[in-house]
Structure 1
Amino acid sequence: MGFSKGFNVSPVGRAGGLSLWWDDSMEVHVMFSSKNVIDAIVRDCDSNLWVRVTGIYGTAYRGKKAEFWGWMNDHFSSTNTHWLCGGGDFNKFIWDHEKVGRAEVLYNRPRFLEDFMNHTNLLGLDFNGPPFTWRGMRNGSLVEERLDRGLVNNQWLSLWPNSTAIHGVVLGFDHCPIIIKTELEGRRDWGNLLDCVNPGITEDMNLTLMASVSLEEIKIAAFQMGGFKAPGPDGFQGIFY
């Protein structure tokens, strides 16, 4: 693959195993590792900027998830360092539409990944490619889920605002590869062309659109929502409130 250096965490039996690889143009220091995590700081040898890169393999065992995610929240916190957490196999999906198949989606399921993201101030990257990153058979039926994703903090986005997760093609494995790209490809130079386009939004209209949403507007929207519509992130329908 062209990488001359690496760091490995051996699998437990036939499961797990983590690897981090890099070439001579990068300097990497692994700060912590376990069967679920490789946490490192990385810099280009031509730069003085250090960034944090954390690879995560979330436990797949339901009985161990609370312990694992409790440890994650104890070990990691928000940081001012530019941080990429993933693309990793978190073994958790966030939204209901990120899972399809006969297996039931529980509305009252624990929100371990969301809680971790809130605790660490990490944001999910947009993605290109198939909507699901894992597929497997459960009780004789195909189930697909988005278990892999890239998470970054605002400091990372301040330098690489176009960062995107690319969902690759599944080849000989039940997960698709995740590639994190920091720049857009095929960017166009519009020059002065946009100066010829008359804006359709006035300054006054823009100020109205950019204004903060008031509590009264939130209240009106909430009370206009049907009581039996789709549940919110907490799993409850509007009639509950």
Structure 2
Amino acid sequence: MKTISWNYRGLGNSRAVRALGDLVKSRKPNMLFLMETLSNTDIRRKLSKKMGFEHCWSVDSQGRSGGLALMWDKSIHCEVVEADSNFIDVNILNNNVSIWRLTGFYGYPERTRRRDSWELLRCLAVKSSLPWFVFGDFNDMISEKDKKGNHKHPQAFLNGFKEVLDEIQLIELDLMRGRCTWEKSRGTLGWVRERIDRVFASASWWKKFPLCKLVVHHVIYSDHDPI
């Protein structure tokens, strides 16, 4: 099973749709999680069919921001458990029997709401005992190495995020082909790069899929790279 997560802003934008189509064609994912879709349900469902995904579950954007979509093909048996503006939580099924849990997560982008994202992770963690895989844009970092350029990320935030991950016992997947997944102001003195798009999993999930790999794909269209 191959999954892609991408915060790419704008399913209604023709350039964004072309970039997404190229990505899906070249990488051939079985599942696609999109954030900041900035579109309505009808657009997302039409795009899902166009990209070759038989199924789509989406959360509408709020004004000029937000919006989530989880798309998957016929090879995956997926049961949606819960969703809101920050996550889509599903069970991946095998012969109609739940075997593991996948959550597409979008952390609050506002720095003042970091702790709200952490609390949401805590709440999600206790909802199921299934092997758990969590991916998306967490808008957060756990190490000084996760940021290059400009001001350092506050140590209190680094510590706070790490403490939550330790508490809910999630292990991060190593990232191949680069470290940073988001950037702004490339080519200027204010160029900033950060690793905020991430993947975590429980120990029980790792036992099922010990050979899982995480790769970043560099794209021109978006300030976020898909993973």
Structure-2-length-normalised TM-score: 0.70
Higher RCO (C-alpha under 8 Å, 6+ residues apart): 2
How far off is 1:145 after superposition?
Answer: 0.3
Letter in 2 for 1:145: E
Unmatched segments (≥5 aa) in structure 1: 179-241
In structure 2, what is the equivalent of residue 164 of structure 1?
213
Deviations 1:114-138 (A, max 9, x none): 1221122110011211210000139
Which of the residues 161, 169, 181 maps onto 1:121?
169
In structure 1, what is the equivalent of residue 92 of structure 2?
42
Letter in 2 for 1:122: L
In structure 2, what is the equivalent of residue 60 of structure 1?
109
Which of the residues 10, 28, 31 maps onto 2:78?
28
In structure 2, what is the equivalent of residue 5 of structure 1?
55
How far off is 1:110 after superposition?
Answer: 5.3
Deviations 1:138-186 (A, max 9, x none): 99611000001110111111111111211111231111111xxxxxxxx
How far off is 1:76 after superposition?
Answer: 2.1
Letter in 2 for 1:116: V
1:168/1:108 Cα in 2 relative to 1: closer, same or farther (>3 Å)?
same
Q: Distance in 1 between matches of 2:116 and 2:175?
A: 29
Larger Rg: 1
Q: Distance in 2 between matches of 1:166 and 1:70?
A: 28
Taking only aligned residues, the RMSD between alpha carbons, in angstroms, comes to 2.2
How far off is 1:26 after superposition?
Answer: 2.0
Runs in 1 of length 4+ with deviation above 4 angstroms?
none
SS of residue matched to 2:191? strand
Identical-pair percentage = 28
Give the count of matched residue pairs: 176
Q: Distance in 1 between matches of 2:171 and 2:214?
A: 12
Letter in 2 for 1:85: V
Letter in 1 for 2:213: T
Structure-1-length-normalised TM-score: 0.67
Unmatched segments (≥5 aa) in structure 2: 1-50
In structure 1, what is the equivalent of residue 179 of structure 2?
131
SS of residue matched to 1:71? helix
